[in-house]
Amino acid sequence: MRVHIIGVGLIGGSFAVDIRNAFSDVQLVGIDSNSDHLEQALSLGIIDEVEELNDIRTSDMVIVAVPVDVSIALIKQVLDIVEDHTLVIDTGSTKGRLCEALSTHPNRRNFLAAHPISGTEFSGPQAAIKDLYRNKTNIICEVEKTAFKLQERALELFQKLGMRICYMDPKSHDRHIAYVSHLSHISSFMLGKTVLEKEKDERNIFDLAGSGFASTVRLAKSSPAMWTPIFEQNKENVVEILNEYIQNLNMFKDLLESNNFEGIFNEMEKTNHIKSILNGII
């Protein structure tokens, strides 16, 4: 099996690592606009060779792992080139604009819209790790628009990588992901910004920050180049959930200012229910 990975960073590179472990006869080919990333991926053994976009005609499977602001035009190019037998999978965090843009493409049947809910705050080929996707949810959108034989091939891949499959329409995907993923990244970025602005002595941040701060602000180390386009493409849903989040922050502030610590206790106690929902995940 010949697999092209377009974007050999954390997401694409981790796919390559696990595909190599899951399939005995596979050739992994890297395509990336960053030549340094390609050199790193080669030296780390993540990919076997480097090719250009036009070379995907030889591919059995193409995995597109690039920022969402370039993915639409790029996947259109990919679908223009691939043969009938080639499966094209994307991994992006937004689906509405992408699926709409590809809806009338002549080779839409070759494409599977997927979003593995997994990752770290690190980027680049050196961040690629084994089993990144094991026991993680993979959201698939508009599966009925993908050719059945290619669906089967994709599901075989996901099963061998240990993913849990969830089916969702693109609009629902973008709405729910805004709630459980995009908001947490904004919260982390703004927490980091607030601390940096208030605590001028960076040594104090390093010395005094406990595990709670470190874990909460971890996502603020994520790539702005990846996340800014995500917020742009999912702006409507992100603004909606931000408004509710801000209301809750203001409510908490009002309770503090009015010395209503019983109210604060009650709010936190109600929120403790999240433990039972996330038990076994974090």
| Residue 204 buriedness (CB in 10 A; 0-12 / 13-18 / 19+) | exposed
Q: What pLDDT, on a 0 to 100 scale, did the predictor assign at position 213? A: 76
Beta partners for residue 6, in sequence order: 31, 64
The pLDDT value given to residue 11: 96
Write out residues in the chain with pLDDT < 50, as ranges: none
Q: How much is the pLDDT for 277? A: 65
- Label each residue of the chain as H, E or C: CEEEEECCCHHHHHHHHHHHHHCCCCEEEEECCCHHHHHHHHHCCCCCEECCHHHHHHCCEEEECCCHHHHHHHHHHHHHHCCCCCEEEECCCCCHHHHHHHCCCCCHHHEEEEEECCCCCCCCHHHCCCCCCCCCEEEEECHHHCCHHHHHHHHHHHHHCCCEEEECCHHHHHHHHHHHHHHHHHHHHHHHHHHHHHCCCHHHHHHHCCHHHHHHCHHHHCCHHHHHHHHHHCHHHHHHHHHHHHHHHHHHHHHHHCCCHHHHHHHHHHHCCHHHHHCCCC
Residue type, 237: N
Structure tokens at 276: 């039972």
Q: Two tokens at 140?
A: 């698939």
Reported as a single tens digit per residue, the pLDDT across 98-136 is 999 999 999 999 999 999 999 888 899 999 999 999 999
The predicted pLDDT at position 196 comes to 86
- Tell me the two tokens of residue 184: 């947490």
Bridge-based pairing state of the strands 61-64 and 49-50: unpaired
- Cβ contacts of residue 60 below 8 Å, gap of 6+? 1, 2, 3, 85, 86, 87
Phi, psi of 62 (to 5 degrees): -120, 125
Q: Is residue 14 exposed (0-12), middle (13-18) or buried (19+ Cβ within 10 Å)?
A: buried
Tokens of 142: 């508009």
pLDDT at residue 280, as a whole number = 56
Residue 204, pLDDT score: 66
Structure tokens given for 122: 């690190």
Alpha-carbon distance of 187 to 245, in angstroms, equals 9
Q: What is the pLDDT of residues 53-108, one digit of tens each?
A: 999 999 999 999 999 999 999 999 999 999 999 999 999 999 999 999 999 999 99
Q: Against a cut of 0.85, is the pTM above it?
A: yes
What gap in Å lies between CA 265 and CA 242, rounded to an integer?
A: 23
Rounded to 10°, the helix 235-257/170-177 angle is: 30
pLDDT of residue 209: 64
What pLDDT score does 107 carry?
98
CB atoms within 10 A of CB 126: 16
| Domains defined for the chain, CATH in brackets | 2-168 (3.40.50.720), 172-278 (1.10.3660.10)
Q: What angle do CA 124, 129, 134 make, to 5 degrees?
A: 130
